[in-house]
Amino acid sequence: MSHLNTITKPSCFKHLTEKERYQIEILLKEKKNSKEIAAALGKHRRTIEREIVRGAVQMLNTDLTYSFRYCADAGQRRYHENGQKKGAGLKIGHDHKLAKHIESRIKKDKYSPDAVIGEIKEKGLKFEVSICTKTLYNYIDNEVFANITNKDLPVKRSRKKGQYRKVRVSLTNLRGTSIEERPAHIENRTEYGHWEMDCVVGKQGTSAATLLVLTERMTREEIIRKMPDRTQASIKQELDKLERRHRKRFSQKFKTITVDNGPEFLNSLELEASVRDLGKKRVKLFYAHPYSSWERGSNENANKLIRRFIPKGTDINNYSAEEIRRIEHWMNNYPRKIHGYKSAKEMAA
C-alpha cells in the first residue's frame, strides 16, 4: 500500500481558545459533566478533563470552607505560561566556566557583550559551548545569569543615525585651520600619528579637575592626563610634557591633532609651538566644525569608555593619577571589534 492509499485519518490538533475556556466555565456552572462539555465543543473528553484540572482555583465558600472550581482566566494564564516554557534548552547549558567568564568580563572588567564574545574568538579561548553576541544579549535580557543584568551594560539601545549638517568655522577662531583643509589621507586612517583631542569634565561646582584625552585615529590608542582645570595653559603644559618625554620622536608620533572649537583650544599658535625648538611648530592642529562632534568620532567614543569608570557628575579630584593610568591601560588593552577584536596596544605594536 502506498502512502497515498492509507486509511488512517490525519491528526489535526487544535488548542482550546480563550472563548472555549469561558464556554467550559459556563457549562460547568450548569452542572454539565466533561463528556457533555466535550460533545458540545467537539473536543475529546480527556481534553476537557485536563483543562478543568489546569484551570482549577481554590475558592472560599459562604460557609467558610474551601472548594476547587474551574476559572477560564486561570486556565488561559497557565496555558500561556506553559507555552513560554517550550523550545530548546539554553545553549550555554551547564558550562559554568563560560558563564563565570562572561560575568567577570562584564561585571568586573566592564566589557560589552560583543567584546566578550569577540575576545573569546580572537584569542581562541576554549569552553564547552560557543555562543554569539545576539544570544548573549538575549540571555541577559531574560536574566539567565545570576550576577549580571542589563543594568551592568554600559550602553544598550539602538538609535537611528542622525542627519547632520556642516556649518562654518566659529568666528572666534579665525586663526585656526579648519578640518576642511586637513589632508584627505588622514580621513582614511591608514597612517599612524593623527590624533583627536578633547576634555572630559567632572562635577560642576567643584574645583574643576579635568581629563585631557587624546585618541589616535588609526589604532585608537589612548593618552589620558589629569589636569587641575580646563584651560589652555593646562593643556599646553601637558603637551609640553609629552614633547619632552618623546623628544625627537614627538613629531612622528603626533603629526596632527584635531580638536573642537572650545575656548581651551582656540589659540592654535600656542599649542602648536615647540617647547624644545623655540620658533618651530611641533604639531599641526585642525578644528572640527562647530556642533559636529562626529568629526571627532573616535574621541567621543573614547569618552564614553571613560564614563564607564568616571560617570557624569563625578568629581575627578577623587581619582588619583594612578587610577587614571589604570583606565588608560584598560582602554589600550580593550578588544575592539573594528580591529578584529585586537586591542589598540596590539595594533600600535
Element (H, E) at 339: none
Neighbours of 80 (CB within 10 A): 9
pLDDT score for 159: 47
Cell numbers at residue 319, please?
A: 581619582
Q: pLDDT value at position 168?
A: 45
Domain ranges of the chain: 18-84, 96-152, 171-348
Q: Please tell me whether residue 178 adopts helix, strand or coil conformation.
A: strand
Give tens-digit pLDDT for 252-264: 999 999 999 988 9
pLDDT of residue 63: 81
* pLDDT 10s digits, 24-67: 999 999 999 999 999 999 999 999 999 999 999 988 878 888 88
Question: What is the per-residue DSSP string for 185-244?
Answer: HHHTT-STTEEEEEEEE--TTS---EEEEEEETTT--EEEEEESSSSHHHHHHHHHHHHH
User: Please, are residues 268 and 286 in contact by the beta-carbon 8 Å criterion?
Assistant: no
Exposed/middle/buried for residue 144 (C-beta within 10 Å: 0-12, 13-18, 19+) = middle
Fill in the amino acid letter for 81. E
Matching CATH number, 171-348, of 3.40.50.880, 3.30.420.10, 1.10.3210.10, 3.40.50.300? 3.30.420.10
Helical pair 72-84 and 45-54, crossing angle rounded to 10 deg:
90
Residue 71 has a pLDDT of 92
What is the rounded CA–CA span in Å between residue 103 and residue 147? 7
pLDDT of residue 157: 47
> CA 254 from chain center: how many Å?
31
Look up the pTM and report it. 0.68
Mean pLDDT by 10 residues, the chain (349 residues): 50 80 92 92 91 89 84 90 72 87 93 94 92 92 88 65 48 73 93 96 77 96 95 95 95 95 90 93 94 92 93 91 96 95 92
d(CA 338, CA 347): 11
| Alpha helices (H) along the chain | 18-29, 34-41, 45-54, 72-84, 96-103, 113-123, 133-141, 184-187, 232-246, 250-253, 268-272, 297-306, 321-332, 344-348
pLDDT value at position 86?
A: 67
Q: Roughly what angle, to the nearest 10 degrees, separates helices 45-54 and 18-29? A: 90
Average pLDDT, the chain: 87
